[in-house]
Chain A
């Protein structure tokens, strides 16, 4: 089944403790991205990647890192999480730049 998977689905952590949220797609998509969803703000793009080893900032990149060493994986790294990064995070992928994006199931992150 074609899908985007994220792990973990739920995470509660403390300020400053490094964490990684994984994202994987099995559709051989070139484009992948991360969004965060906050009430009243919709989804905002954090980072995106057009292909392996090619990443760029979205609208709200501060406090996040990403890497794209393999085509199927696009992990989101929070080196030193803070409470303002408490949010719902979505990974998305698409075949290319002008193609429909497929979203993962979301990761609910709480930073205390």
Chain B
């Protein structure tokens, strides 16, 4: 079974600065999908960014980008120009093409943004 690990329970960043959240995963599959979800205090799960394992190019969505290192099984999220609204729980998730549409989540990282 796949596992996803987020080693940073909490992170903080100064407004307008850049922060990187770490995620590692364990799998024997070669084709899979990786995601970062944001959960603000409203508890809503919001998809931030996704990466297909077969794509070498790192995904980017506005101020959010990933550093996908397939050999190292690492999938970090970089948030540039941090804003107060970025404060939330962030979850890394893995989806296997062989497990229906089940997402396997990491334990989460709480990001605090200081004004």
B44 at the interface (CB under 8 A from A): yes
Please tell me if B4 contacts chain A, counting CB pairs below 8 Å. Answer: yes
A103–B44 CB distance below 8 A: yes
Give the bracket for the number of chain B residues in contact with chain A: 20 to 34
Bin the interface of chain A by size: 20 to 34
Residue of B nearest to A107 (CB): B43
Question: Across the two chains, which residue of chain A brings its CB closest to B95?
Answer: A98
Secondary structure at the A interface, as helix, strand, loop or mixed, is: strand
Residues of B within 8 A of A94 (CB): 101
Q: Are B102 and A33 in contact (CB under 8 A)?
A: yes
Asked if residues B101 and A42 are in contact (CB atoms below 8 Å), the reply is no
Query: Which of B9, B47, B103, B106 has most chain A Cβ within 10 Å?
Result: B103
A33-B101, A42-B105, A43-B103 given. 9 additional CB < 8 A pairs? A31-B100, A40-B9, A40-B107, A44-B105, A50-B100, A59-B102, A97-B100, A98-B97, A101-B101
